[in-house]
Amino acid sequence: FADDDNTYSLELFEEMRYTRRVSVWPVAFVGGLRYESPKVSPAGKVVGWKTVFDPNRPFAIDMAGFAISIKLILEKPQASFKLEGVKGGYQETSLLKDLVTMDGLEPKAANCTKVLVWHTRTERPALVNEGKRGFTDPRAEV
């Protein structure tokens, strides 16, 4: 679920390529924290969530923090991302609970110890100096 308000390391796309069912990883600058992350046991299993907002949600993960195998989507056509009737912050859970259990999650990014996604947000730039001193060309494609 890549979108325009996140920045992604190319390394993440290489790791995500090997997703068998659902892979997960940390996301930076989300939830009012430096990062949120799955908690991973020494055995390499996801056992919980490092987040402040309702950490007891079944899948307390940001939309940019997981990948789903297309094979799994095709195996489970009943799975859907629900917007209506779902409490805020539970949209990810609404989809993931139809696809996988916690035990089936595949930690990526060095067992969720590396950040490879940043919620950087895309905002209108504040071009307060544009046009001053005449060195920018309004015809330049940006």
Residue owning tokens 């696809």: 99
**Catalytic site residue from 15, 92, 123, 141:** 92
Task: Respond yes or no: is residue 92 known to be catalytic.
Answer: yes
Q: Can you list the domains of the chain with their CATH numbers?
A: 7-119 (3.90.550.10)
If one counts every other C-beta atom within 10 angstroms of the C-beta of residue 118, the result is: 18
pTM of the model: 0.84
Q: 11: alpha, beta or left, given left = phi > 0 and alpha = psi -120 to 50?
A: alpha
Minimal CA–CA distance to 89: which of 49, 135, 140, 53?
A: 53
Beta strand extents in 92-139 (DSSP E only): 105-107, 117-118
pLDDT tens per residue, the chain (142 residues)? 677 789 999 999 999 999 999 999 999 999 899 999 999 999 999 999 999 999 889 999 999 999 999 999 999 999 988 888 888 888 899 999 999 999 999 999 999 999 999 999 877 777 777 777 676 767 766 6
